């Protein structure tokens, strides 16, 4: 592969390679039985978007209730069910599959020069499992909802809650199998399907990030699965595992739950880091700074991320020595994260920066991730955590990581690869506008929550003292802005599908392998098997 190929040549190659994957078949059946990773990615995209807006509706109702200090819109009970629905849907049905299953599915084979993932049928099966799990969760919500919070803490979830806990657990369990199969597929694909010349240190950082994420998916999800089974057993057969009244230990549940759920945070944010690492070099026209360290940092985050779960239990009565070790390890995981932030920033240095819509999202990601990460250090400090535990400070912190980080990066990735995926250009002006609206709306929603938490507002309450109202109203106003920001792309991206200008093979002059084939790519990705002769970020400033 040479860097001097023109779009025209590539276009010709694409045509010679056969029809585009979108033209492979137009029937519903051709989509539902497809084994093409690109089509499965689109199936995921449609389904997670549905769940994103469902979870968003729950969030909107929460913010509406909190606009006044009294609990006047919904009852306390309904409020509990709303934040549980919001959490369960957003974590398991949107964030965890978002970047890996949509962008990862579409791009991993293209980026390493493969024809497909190693196990295409397994890939389709994992989408069906995702749908089945999602349907079960929906069933639980429609049947009356769940009020435990997304964390399913015992003994409330096993002994006291009168809601559809077991049904919701089953849904999450099934979605978990879908995650495991996707992770397995990615790991095997990266190990065995790389094109000739594509050594490990020529992999784009997006591939590294999804590889590390897959390791977590494969190794942590089974622990969650069995933990949820134990919760169901205790709930159904009244035997003591986690309930102290029956001789169990609630802390045991928290250890097992967070052994999965803390690494799950990295499942959500590592792929986002991968997306930022593709967009920033391209829009700064600079090779990514410290490529190898970026790759090592990704792996370090994945590994250390397995060892910090205890920082969720500082005030639960676990041993103070355990608390100190977990605190130290939590500070350590910040080191590779900081390396990444420094390197993204250093990549910009002396670059020729242009502020296309994907770049705005990526820069938004870096800023918001930094704020979320730094406030994470507040919470990793033992003494401070006593004050901040279970307050809105925690809520703000993890929303900065998951919404400010992951959702921003997901949207950035959607814009960046939209021309490749659909073969159409979206409206740049609208794209930039939406990015700015989302950034502003996000900060307005969640920054006041840091202040609320610091002032002592606990999470998960539907009414509150009047002195908190100003900050809550600001936050709710931000949520409205954010909602507008999220609806905008739905409009202009859909518009582009029909009226958008046809996209060239490489509209951003990017250097990744995925841009060396037609837009949209042919069924088997490349006209002829690519041979790789250079690293992934061969940008040069003139």
Partner 1 sequence: MSPMNTRIAEQFSSREQQAFAGTFGMWVFIASELLFFAPLLFGYFYLRTHYPAACAVASRHTDFLLGTANTAVLLSSSFLMALAAQAAEARRRSRARWLLVAVAALGVAFLVIKGVEYHAEFQEQLFPGAGFRSQAPPGMELFFLLYFALTGLHALHLTVGILVCLAMAAGLRHPEPQWPSGEAVEFAGLYWHFVDLVWIFLYPLVYLVGRAGG
Chain contacts with partner 1 (rule: CB under 8 A) = 114-120, 180, 183-184, 187-189, 191-193, 218-223, 225-227, 229-230, 233, 237-241, 247-249, 252, 255-256, 524, 529
Q: Residue 44 or residue 257: which is nearer to partner 1 going by CB? A: 257
What is the C-alpha to C-alpha distance for residues 274 and 272, in angstroms, rounded to an integer?
Answer: 5
Nearer to partner 1, 193 or 332 (CB): 193
- 163 vs 227, which CB is nearer to partner 1? 227
CB atoms within 10 A of CB 16: 11
Instruction: Give me the least distance between CB of 208 and partner 1, in Å please.
Output: 17
We find the least distance from the C-beta atom of residue 408 to partner 1, in angstroms, to be: 30
Nearer to partner 1, 113 or 500 (CB): 113
Q: Nearest distance from residue 250's CB to partner 1, in Å?
A: 12
Give the count of beta carbons closer than 10 Å to the beta carbon of residue 142. 9
CB of 187 to partner 1, least distance (A): 5
Min separation Cβ 152 and partner 1, Å: 14
CA angle, corner 450, sides to 445 and 454, nearest 5?
A: 150
H, E, C per residue of 141-191: HHCCCCCCCCCCCCCHHHHHCCCCHHHHHHHHHHHHHHHHHHHHHHHHHHH
Which alpha helices (H) appear in 392-520, and where do they start and end?
392-399, 408-422, 428-454, 469-499
Sign of CA dihedral 520, 524, 530, 535: positive
The nearest distance, CB 501 to partner 1, in angstroms, is 32
Given the complex with partner 1, which of 183 and 351 has the nearer CB atom?
183
Nearer to partner 1, 93 or 225 (CB): 225
Say whether the peptide bond before residue 423 is cis (omega within 30 degrees of 0).
Answer: no
169 vs 483, beta carbon nearer partner 1 = 169
Q: Containing H/E element for 115?
A: none
- Angstrom CA distances, 314 to 47, 391, 402, 513, stand at 37, 14, 22, 46
Interior/surface letters 213-242, b for 16+ CB within 10 angstroms, e for the rest = bbbbbbebbebbbebbebbbebbeeeeebb
CA pair distance 301, 308, nearest whole angstrom: 11
Instruction: Provide the minimum distance between the beta carbon of 286 and partner 1 in the complex, in angstroms, as a whole number.
Output: 34
Give the phi and the psi of residue 164 in degrees, each rounded to 5.
-85, 65
CA distances from 420 to 216, 279, 413, 443, 521 (A): 28, 14, 11, 31, 7
Nearer to partner 1, 66 or 267 (CB): 267
Give me the least distance between CB of 106 and partner 1, in Å please. 15
Rounded to whole angstroms, the Cα distance separating 80 from 393 reads 19
Within 10 A of 171 (CB to CB), how many other CB atoms are there?
Answer: 26
Residue closer to partner 1, measured from CB, 210 or 370: 210
């Amino acid at each position: 592969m040479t860097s001097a190929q023109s779009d025209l040549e590539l276009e010709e190659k694409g045509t010679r390679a056969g029809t585009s994957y979108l033209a492979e078949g137009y029937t519903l059946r051709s989509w539902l039985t497809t084994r093409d990773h690109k089509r499965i990615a689109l199936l995921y995209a449609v389904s997670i978007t549905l769940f994103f807006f469902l979870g968003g509706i729950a969030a909107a109702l929460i913010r509406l209730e909190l606009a006044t200090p009294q609990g006047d819109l919904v009852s306390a009970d309904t409020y509990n069910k709303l934040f549980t629905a919001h959490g369960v849907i957003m974590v398991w049905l949107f964030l965890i599959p978002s970047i890996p299953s949509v962008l990862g599915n579409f791009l991993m084979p293209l980026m390493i020069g493969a024809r497909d993932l190693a196990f295409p049928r397994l890939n389709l099966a994992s989408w069906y499992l995702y749908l089945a799990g999602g349907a079960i969760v929906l069933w639980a919500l429609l049947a009356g909802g769940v009020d435990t919070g997304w964390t399913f803490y015992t003994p409330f979830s096993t002994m006291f809650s009168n809601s559809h806990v077991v049904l919701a657990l089953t849904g999450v369990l099934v979605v978990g199998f879908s995650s495991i199969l996707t992770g397995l597929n990615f790991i095997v694909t990266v190990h065995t399907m790389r094109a000739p010349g594509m050594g490990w240190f020529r992999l784009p950082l997006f591939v590294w990030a999804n590889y590390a994420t897959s390791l977590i998916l494969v190794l942590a999800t089974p622990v969650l699965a069995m933990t949820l089974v134990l919760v169901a057993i205790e709930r159904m057969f009244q035997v003591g595992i986690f309930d102290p009244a029956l001789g169990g230990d609630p802390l045991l549940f928290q250890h097992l739950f967070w052994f999965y759920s803390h690494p799950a945070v990295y499942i959500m944010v590592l792929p986002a880091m991968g997306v930022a690492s593709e967009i920033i070099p391209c829009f700064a026209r600079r090779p990514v700074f410290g490529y190898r360290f970026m790759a090592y940092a990704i792996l370090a985050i994945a590994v250390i991320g397995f060892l910090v779960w205890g920082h969720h239990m500082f005030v639960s009565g676990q041993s103070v020595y355990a608390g100190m070790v977990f605190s130290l390890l939590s500070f350590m995981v910040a080191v590779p994260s900081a390396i990444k932030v420094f390197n993204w920033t250093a990549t910009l240095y002396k670059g020729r920066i242009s502020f296309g819509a994907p770049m705005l999202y990526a820069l938004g990601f870096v800023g918001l991730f930094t704020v979320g990460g730094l406030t994470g250090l507040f919470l990793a400090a033992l003494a401070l955590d006593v004050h901040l535990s279970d307050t809105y400070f925690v809520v703000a912190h993890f929303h900065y990581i998951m919404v400010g980080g992951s959702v921003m990066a997901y949207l950035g990735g959607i814009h960046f690869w939209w021309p490749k995926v659909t073969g159409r250009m979206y409206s740049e002006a609208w794209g930039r506008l939406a990015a700015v609206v989302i950034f502003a709306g996000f900060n307005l929603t969640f920054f006041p929550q840091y202040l609320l938490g610091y002032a002592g507002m606990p999470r998960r309450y539907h009414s509150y003292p009047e002195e908190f109202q100003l900050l809550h109203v600001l936050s709710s106003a931000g949520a409205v802005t954010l909602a507008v920001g999220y609806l905008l792309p739905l409009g202009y991206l859909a518009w582009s599908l029909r009226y958008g200008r046809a996209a060239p093979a490489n509209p951003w002059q990017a250097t990744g392998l995925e841009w060396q084939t037609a837009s949209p790519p042919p069924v088997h990705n490349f006209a002829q098997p690519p041979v790789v002769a250079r690293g992934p970020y061969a940008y040069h400033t003139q």
